[in-house]
Structure 1
């Protein structure tokens, strides 16, 4: 082939490819509007109903696939219409109007890069790397109050979603022939290195994205479950430790009350309380009161001295004291402020001193509520990366981790919320900070909260995304070098072959085997004989095509015949009956020939199938078909299986009364039939509806069938096994 011919072939390719690509389609041309609407509606449908939840409130949407396919197959104007529908749908669905702006920017950027000769997937990759991700992060940062992790995950998720859509669209685009009118770009053949790089990128990117997304989803769910279990276990441990501590202190006070019930001497009681406050570090103070609430004994020593100085102290106004007096049982108070011996927050344990079923006094121990005292019973169960809050029955703070800055007896004013990423664990907002938490109830209606920040989960996602992005970037860099080297190796011998066939000399071409594959060498050695082989093959193929065409025509004729008959009964099926009967019916209408249509339905056929099985049901259907074939023998009679257990008969000519007599005889003969099924004998009956034309020759074919169908239902309503006929 000469250089001039080669150049002419390339120009022909360019002209053919640019026939459609070069057209300046107006936005309002009919085919542009229709194409844009079709792709836009498909994208909107996918964005509305096929959104895949990924993690938290983040989802993957795929309507952009159709916008990109519309761009590369129908052009920019049609893609604008498609994006207006599809993009607006997903922006509304996700309540994110800025998403539409990002998708619009992607479409125009990809359009410009495609015009410069880039392929679809590399164009999309360049956009999301340089424009899409920063633009998404900018929009989210300007309009939301998310932390850095959520902001990063939002931007990277959007980028991965965009690359996933581009990969699928590029995969579909590769199956469109190069010279197809539906290719709007690449009017000239691209360089081989670009083709290899694009295919390598497509081969790597799509599976990598899918595997990475599945892996991220699984690891995120696993981490969520792990943290949820950790928080839940911590809440239960703290609840158990608190219950054990409260029970232990209550038992101590009950034991003292029991001891004093046996020896209620003032000296003994004073000595006992002083001794316990010295040895028992949990109680900051202890006292004994009369039944009327007046304190008569106090410890430690400084409290006893205050009492000896004549100061009057009473428990009568305390609710827990009144409850203990009334019930004669031990009581644990709510968290409260001390009064009398001090105003610090305390937790009081009180038990009645009972002798001969009479309350002779009360003994009380108080624990000072501060971080140090509470940590004394919780220190073995707390972990460093969690925060703790313990609330009493009145929802006042008994204990809170230091970083929360919650004073004792204050309110834990939080708002339930939903974390955007960690949805499977309850979340709350406190003083502008979001936490995930688990809670547990204590026996005296106290509640334990164990909190942590969501970044324990978000770090897993961001780390996976960073690894994914770095892996794809390094892989693409590697493939760019491989593609360049491989294309040179593959195209060099092809270029030599082209030069060889362009020249006039007959000297055999020689290619160094070190630099090329054995297949290329073999191709070079055999290519001289290829044209003769191709011509011989073409002649043989033409002959084979002619033979196959004849065989196909015969086979089509056979298939047409088979398509008209029912496979089970070998009578006409519905399609075959309608075709033949309609032609005969038109002749009857034109010539005013009497005609009848009868519809037959086997009574209670479902019961036969359910009782004896479908093979027996098929046997019954064939028996009815055989009976119709035996009785309707005239050339003008047309019978068919109209569906399931329903048959249809068309009788032409003669008198209507003769038609009715024939159908009645068929009804009687079927009633007398017996079908053998294993050890059982089955009796059949049919319901028949019949409609006849005697005068009204203006009725369409479908109307007379409808009339016969109405008569059939009349027979069923009247008890079945009968004929209902109508003449018009």
Structure 2
């Protein structure tokens, strides 16, 4: 029976934790048949556990536990106390050794949970065996087994504790298991949301610079520029994008014409023609052969330290013929735009390129940039659902996403976050049971004396041939029964109070996790500084509004705003002053565009976007012009200084020709913004179709 139960009837808890009840039959065998049959049953039962769990610790613990229980029971110990003593002194240290040296589990919280689970499993098994023992047929017992009978107070103590232990353990395990599964599900959702968030950040970082290169290439394609003008455009673009190491322009054969920054341009002048040829580089060959932009894999910068970089390039054309490429080398060393998760739940991040080269990793993970990162998945021991990987810093639960360019984003969290609540529930249960045991022990000693004293008095009077006092016997009998009833009521009340407290704790933690998820959902669509939509929130809402407007032939205008010379504001007055400027622009936008069909957002950095639907597009442009003038005339008081700023606006309207996509609408507005920038700034450039 022990073999069958341990092989097929294991109660799985959380992760790879489980309860096994085959030990009940081994205990039955010990108390009815003796040591040797019980040892043989323990050996068979351990085989079943090993087949199911592949854990050799069960062999050692099962055999030693039977020997200790047998030895202590021969000295008058009740099984419950003997089993608790075994696990505290021998069983838990043996389990610890196997967990550390054979399985390599490094989480201290999970190790504690495993050891507590072993203790509670032993207590549960012995309690069930002791509770069922009176129902065993008497013919099953060997009469020649000589055991020292325990004291009556020990028997009462054991029965009282078993009546409290069994329901407490079962209820606690059920509630804790459900609580852990809820926490795991919420952690899985949170890691997934974080992974999506960081994927969007990664995509935006690359797209932002790719768009810059594409725009510059398009500028050269729209009209011919001489070399001096191209150099001016190149230097200006490099100055506006601080994460760009260097930029260059080639002719149609891959000969480098100009470079930025100025130091690079000066260096190029001293190079020979062969040294300026890049026709063998992928960033030239791909745009040349495919007429499309190109983003390279991550590689280590030469001459710029050990930072990871990528090359971004795009072709430009003259008279519809390939005329060369524009290339930018993007520095990823400052790619640290990731937070650490919500309160109480730390999230770490790993970013790799399409060839698994490490682009970014949270500092605590201690991973080298540009090293190859291939996650080593291992068998799950902590949870039922989330995958687990092993790093040099320990084990981590994780979720991952892949961007359009093949970059991979991993969000990780320590399993201790989930195990901690599970562990605390076990500790709270043990502490509560110790308190209950202390109270019950005091009561039992008094109670047993009230039972045995009348009996001793009866024996004394009987042996001395003295009359037995009836009044005393009657009083003690009534008081003893009443005392048992009252003490059991107190113990039950204590247990119910503990269960109620535990349930409230579970509900409170569940509420905290739900609130954290709600806050995270809001943060993902709202800009924290201005309290208007961020890019994600704007795109989610405006794409639907744009589709409805096009379907009903409603005129719409998309406008992109950019604060002129914003870097100078930060450099001259500091980022706090820059934040005030950004807040002012957002407030002016909210005052001007407040219809339900108007949407405003901070698109990123000092860039804002407005979507206007319905009405006359001339009115749209008038409102945008008024917004530009209001911002230009607005004075910002920061400390003892007055700051004035201007904005450049690109606005594209759709009125007659409705054959346009949302992305094309944004792209056209962006091009018009660029026109405003290159035409002197502080102006509105508008167009329509």
Same fold (TM over 0.5): yes
1:273 has 2:273 as partner = no
Superimposed CA distance per residue, residues 418-439 of structure 1 (whole angstroms, 9 cap, x where no aligned partner): 2422342112223473222111
Asked whether the equivalents of residues 32 and 140 of structure 2 are also in contact (C-alpha less than 8 Å), the reply is no
Q: 2:94 aligns with which of 112, 132, 135?
A: 135
- Identify which range, 244-253 or 169-178, moves more after superposition: 169-178
Aligned residues: 477
Distance change in 2, residues 1:289/1:382 (3 Å): farther
SS in 1 for 2:427: helix
Asked whether the equivalents of residues 338 and 349 of structure 2 are also in contact (C-alpha less than 8 Å), the reply is no
Q: 1:461 aligns with which of 394, 412, 422?
A: 422
Q: 2:66 aligns with which of 104, 107, 111?
A: 107
Q: 2:445 aligns with which of 459, 484, 488?
A: 484
Q: TM-score of the superposition, structure 2-length normalised? A: 0.63
Aligned to 2:154: 194
Aligned to 2:13: 54
Residues in 2 aligned to 1:50 and 1:343: alpha-carbon distance in whole angstroms: 57
Superimposed CA distance per residue, residues 546-602 of structure 1 (whole angstroms, 9 cap, x where no aligned partner): xxxxxxxxxxxxxxxxxxxxxxxxxxxxxxxxxxxxxxxxxxxxxxxxxxxxxxxxx
Residues in 2 aligned to 1:394 and 1:139: alpha-carbon distance in whole angstroms: 38
Aligned to 1:244: 204
1:120 has 2:79 as partner = yes
- Identify which range, 225-234 or 458-467, moves more after superposition: 458-467
Mapping for residues 580-659 of structure 1, pairs under 5 Å: none
SS in 1 for 2:470: coil
Shift of 1:515: 7.0
Asked whether the equivalents of residues 454 and 473 of structure 2 are also in contact (C-alpha less than 8 Å), the reply is no
1:408 has 2:339 as partner = no
1:366 has 2:326 as partner = no
- Identify which range, 479-488 or 144-153, moves more after superposition: 144-153
SS in 2 for 1:466: helix
Mapping for residues 487-506 of structure 1, pairs under 5 Å: 487-493=448-454
Shift of 1:124: 1.7
1:71 has 2:69 as partner = no
Mapping for residues 558-573 of structure 1, pairs under 5 Å: none
Asked whether the equivalents of residues 149 and 455 of structure 1 are also in contact (C-alpha less than 8 Å), the reply is yes
Superimposed CA distance per residue, residues 88-126 of structure 1 (whole angstroms, 9 cap, x where no aligned partner): 332344323342222112112211222222322222222
Shift of 1:349: 2.0
Superimposed CA distance per residue, residues 313-336 of structure 1 (whole angstroms, 9 cap, x where no aligned partner): 233122232111222222222223
Asked whether the equivalents of residues 419 and 434 of structure 1 are also in contact (C-alpha less than 8 Å), the reply is no
Q: TM-score of the superposition, structure 1-length normalised? A: 0.60
Shift of 1:392: 1.2
Aligned to 2:3: 44
Mapping for residues 119-518 of structure 1, pairs under 5 Å: 119-147=78-106, 148-176=108-136, 181=141, 191-261=151-221, 262-311=223-272, 312-338=275-301, 345-370=308-333, 372=334, 374-375=335-336, 377-378=337-338, 385-431=346-392, 433-493=394-454, 509-511=470-472, 517=478
Asked whether the equivalents of residues 447 and 480 of structure 2 are also in contact (C-alpha less than 8 Å), the reply is no
Residues in 2 aligned to 1:161 and 1:344: alpha-carbon distance in whole angstroms: 53
Residues in 2 aligned to 1:400 and 1:166: alpha-carbon distance in whole angstroms: 49
Distance change in 2, residues 1:397/1:168 (3 Å): same
Distance change in 2, residues 1:56/1:407 (3 Å): same
Asked whether the equivalents of residues 70 and 82 of structure 1 are also in contact (C-alpha less than 8 Å), the reply is yes
- Identify which range, 244-253 or 184-193, moves more after superposition: 184-193
Distance change in 2, residues 1:393/1:189 (3 Å): closer
Superimposed CA distance per residue, residues 658-678 of structure 1 (whole angstroms, 9 cap, x where no aligned partner): xxxxxxxxxxxxxxxxxxxxx
Residues in 1 aligned to 2:249 and 2:141: alpha-carbon distance in whole angstroms: 100
Shift of 1:150: 4.0
SS in 1 for 2:409: strand
Shift of 1:281: 1.6
Distance change in 2, residues 1:97/1:278 (3 Å): closer
Residues in 1 aligned to 2:428 and 2:306: alpha-carbon distance in whole angstroms: 57
Shift of 1:259: 1.7
Shift of 1:131: 2.3
Residues in 1 aligned to 2:442 and 2:120: alpha-carbon distance in whole angstroms: 24
Asked whether the equivalents of residues 353 and 406 of structure 2 are also in contact (C-alpha less than 8 Å), the reply is yes
Shift of 1:165: 1.2
Runs (4+) off by over 6 Å: 177-180, 183-189, 339-343, 380-384, 497-508, 512-516, 518-521
Asked whether the equivalents of residues 73 and 82 of structure 2 are also in contact (C-alpha less than 8 Å), the reply is yes
Distance change in 2, residues 1:65/1:282 (3 Å): same
Asked whether the equivalents of residues 237 and 381 of structure 1 are also in contact (C-alpha less than 8 Å), the reply is no
SS in 2 for 1:125: helix
Asked whether the equivalents of residues 388 and 396 of structure 2 are also in contact (C-alpha less than 8 Å), the reply is yes
Residues in 1 aligned to 2:328 and 2:101: alpha-carbon distance in whole angstroms: 57
Residues in 2 aligned to 1:255 and 1:437: alpha-carbon distance in whole angstroms: 37
- Identify which range, 133-142 or 337-346, moves more after superposition: 337-346
Asked whether the equivalents of residues 387 and 399 of structure 2 are also in contact (C-alpha less than 8 Å), the reply is yes
Residues in 2 aligned to 1:519 and 1:483: alpha-carbon distance in whole angstroms: 10
Asked whether the equivalents of residues 451 and 476 of structure 2 are also in contact (C-alpha less than 8 Å), the reply is no
Q: Give unpaired runs (5+ residues) of structure 1.
A: 1-41, 522-728
Residues in 2 aligned to 1:199 and 1:300: alpha-carbon distance in whole angstroms: 85
Asked whether the equivalents of residues 313 and 326 of structure 2 are also in contact (C-alpha less than 8 Å), the reply is yes
Shift of 1:339: 6.2
Superimposed CA distance per residue, residues 298-351 of structure 1 (whole angstroms, 9 cap, x where no aligned partner): 111111111233454233122232111222222222223456999864222212
